[in-house]
């Protein structure tokens, strides 16, 4: 069997077209990511997931989604429950860790029923005064240890439901004063300060199976390249000081924080040390460029992906979903 390319792609709609199917068969990406444009109802999503996996001929191809709760939710009513943002979970005080785990366990049940195996949650970015609102209420707060504790509870809830968590945006997006979807944020804080604040939640969750990079320049470490494209940030900070040895996936290559062609972005991220690159918008001409520039998974990436999948299967726990839903309603009566 051939080794998949080190890329995860999006697709354009609720079903695969013939051109997409042929492209994915040829490109052989590791997996796929779903957005709201791909999600109509349960039956449709299950069919799309099957189509995507059939296109690459791998029944275990990872299927990702951003289902955080709050304003970042691809699955919405009337077919799916409304979940709270991280800030609202943290506001529960003594019950916050229970709530973080419970919310993630219910999200995992939703996703697992659809065949989705990876959720881009939890957000470990700190809530920093004066920063851009792109993180905002998606953060569990400003205290690194508390963010880590709530993030771990959320990650464990996903794992117990058979879904892999993705800690993001490593090594920390909280200080960004612009939205990296639009421009490249530059963080000028000294490394020593970052290591005791922004980096800390990621270090405390360095055992997690997947992480997503931040498209942010940390000028005290690499003044020229954002973390996604920086060998120094990946080797010295993410793999080094933080100690993360799981699957490292780039944030979306189509975000405006990155410059250059799509080939240069893909090549740069993989050369920097990302295991996999992510391209989300489903635009065929961009995907073709990214695919051409993306090599097969390295041996190290294959090892990390296999270890993550083994962990996903090992941590699966049965749950009384009706009881969890009742507790959710008690904790969040207005949702």
Catalytic pick among 28, 125, 198, 251: 251
pLDDT tier, 261 (very low <50, low <70, confident <90, very high otherwise): very high
Distance CA 248, CA 245 (A): 8
User: Which of 181, 236, 245, 315 is labelled catalytic?
Assistant: 181
pLDDT tens-digit series, residues 177-187: 898 999 999 99
Predicted local confidence at residue 324, as pLDDT: 98
pLDDT the model gives residue 179:
87
Q: Which residue has the higher pLDDT, 90 or 177?
A: 90
Q: Positive or negative CA dihedral for 207, 213, 218, 222?
A: positive
- From CA 163, how far away is CA 119, in angstroms rounded? 7
The residue length of the chain stands at 335
Average the pLDDT over 251-275 and give the result.
96
- Per-residue pLDDT averaged across 138-147, rounded? 98
- Is 132 an annotated catalytic residue? no
- Percent of the chain scoring above 70 in pLDDT: 100
* Domain architecture of the chain: domains with CATH: 5-331 (3.20.20.300)
Global pTM exceeds 0.95 = yes
Q: How confident is residue 253, by pLDDT bands cut at 50, 70 and 90? A: very high
Active-site annotation holds for 215: no
């Amino acid at each position: 069997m051939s080794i998949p390319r080190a890329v995860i792609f999006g697709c354009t709609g609720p079903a695969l077209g013939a051109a997409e199917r042929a492209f994915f068969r040829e490109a052989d990406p590791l997996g796929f990511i779903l957005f709201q444009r791909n999600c109509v109802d349960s039956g449709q999503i299950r069919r799309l997931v099957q189509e995507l996996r059939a296109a690459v001929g791998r029944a275990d191809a990872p299927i990702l989604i951003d289902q955080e709760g709050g304003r970042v939710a691809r699955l919405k009513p009337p077919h799916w429950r409304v979940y709270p943002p991280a800030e609202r979970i943290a506001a529960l005080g003594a019950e916050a860790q229970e709530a973080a785990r419970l919310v993630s366990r219910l999200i995992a049940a939703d996703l697992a029923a659809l065949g989705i195996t990876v959720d881009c949650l939890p957000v470990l970015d700190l809530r920093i005064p004066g920063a851009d609102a792109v993180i905002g209420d998606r953060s569990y707060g400003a205290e690194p240890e508390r963010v880590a504790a709530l993030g771990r509870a959320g990650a464990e809830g996903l794992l117990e439901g058979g879904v892999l968590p993705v800690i993001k945006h490593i090594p920390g997006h909280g200080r960004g004063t612009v939205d990296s979807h639009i421009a490249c944020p530059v963080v000028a804080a000294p490394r020593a300060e970052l290591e005791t604040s922004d980096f800390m939640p990621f270090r405390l969750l360095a055992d997690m199976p997947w992480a997503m990079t931040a498209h942010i320049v940390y000028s005290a470490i690499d003044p020229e390249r954002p973390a996604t494209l920086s060998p120094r940030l990946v080797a010295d900070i993410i793999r080094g000081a933080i100690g993360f040895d799981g699957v490292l996936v780039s944030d979306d290559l189509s975000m405006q924080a990155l410059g250059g062609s799509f080939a240069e972005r893909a090549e740069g991220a993989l050369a920097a040390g990302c295991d996999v690159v992510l391209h989300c918008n489903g635009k065929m001409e961009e995907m073709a460029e990214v695919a051409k520039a993306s090599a097969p998974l390295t041996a190290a990436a294959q090892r990390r992906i296999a270890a993550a999948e083994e962990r996903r299967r090992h941590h699966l726990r049965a749950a009384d979903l009706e009881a969890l839903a009742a507790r959710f309603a008690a904790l969040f009566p207005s949702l």
